Amino acid sequence: MTENIELTHQQERAFQPQKLSAPRDFIIPKTIADTEDETPLILEIGAGKGKHALSFALQNPDKHLIAIERTRNKFEAFSKLARSQQLRNLDAIHADAIAWTVHAIKPNSLAKIFILYPNPEQHNPNQQWLNMPFFEFLLSRLQVDGEVILVTNIEAYMNDAERQATKVWCLPSVRYRVPKDSQRTHFEVKYLARQEVCWELSIRKPKWYKTRFDHWQPSTPDIKK
């Protein structure tokens, strides 16, 4: 990691990836490790029971989706459906998303990152993704013109995220209202059925963007064949 790099953003707290151990039984799928594969790589953090992941993979056979879920019961439901559908362009991962991303994803390799309906503690702003030092590392894994999609039904969360994107991360972003007929996740279906407003923030990474981790990589792990 370069210490004297001129950073694009205003985040002073530095994430420390070297202190994170790899998840238990950690193996990288071969499709991710293949440097010659030019299929766009997409990451979904917090996939739940996989409603969005399964739909996205089915509708986008030209893209490869890595969908991570930490909670065991949700992941087991997701994994069962993923196995039954046998989608070759989907990897369902049971792990902590931060540790897994640090050890599995190469710099400048992701075309898009989905963070759909995270569930932060309202009184703990440090649990909001754009407040985390890890968000800088996540940006380093994103390709030029890559996109982060954050969606929430909590307007205060969206207001903070939009402000952080501009003032702290110095990134262009666009905010949308989610269409009332959208059905990407179980949460989205439930919230919209209750007539709640759901918000989406699209954040893009410009060509000139610099982070501390643009060339940081972990040691070479095992690869799942």
Please provide the average confidence, as pLDDT, over all residues in the chain. Answer: 90
Residue 33 lies in a domain: no
Residue 55 lies in a domain: yes
* CATH at 110: 3.40.50.150
* Torsional class of 25: left (φ above 0), alpha (ψ -120 to 50), beta (otherwise): left
Question: Do 81 and 51 contact (CB within 8 A), yes or no?
Answer: no
The predicted-structure confidence for 71-111, as pLDDT tens digits, reads as follows 999 999 999 999 999 999 999 999 999 999 999 999 999 99
Residue 216 lies in a domain: no
Residue 224 lies in a domain: no
- Number of domain units in the chain: 1
pLDDT (mean) for 41-46: 97
Domain region containing 67: 38-209
191 pLDDT exceeds 90?
A: yes
221 pLDDT exceeds 60?
A: no
pLDDT (mean) for 14-18: 91
User: What is the reported pLDDT for 35?
Assistant: 60
pLDDT (mean) for 201-209: 96
Residue 130 lies in a domain: yes
Residue percentage of the chain with pLDDT more than 70: 92
Residue 152 lies in a domain: yes
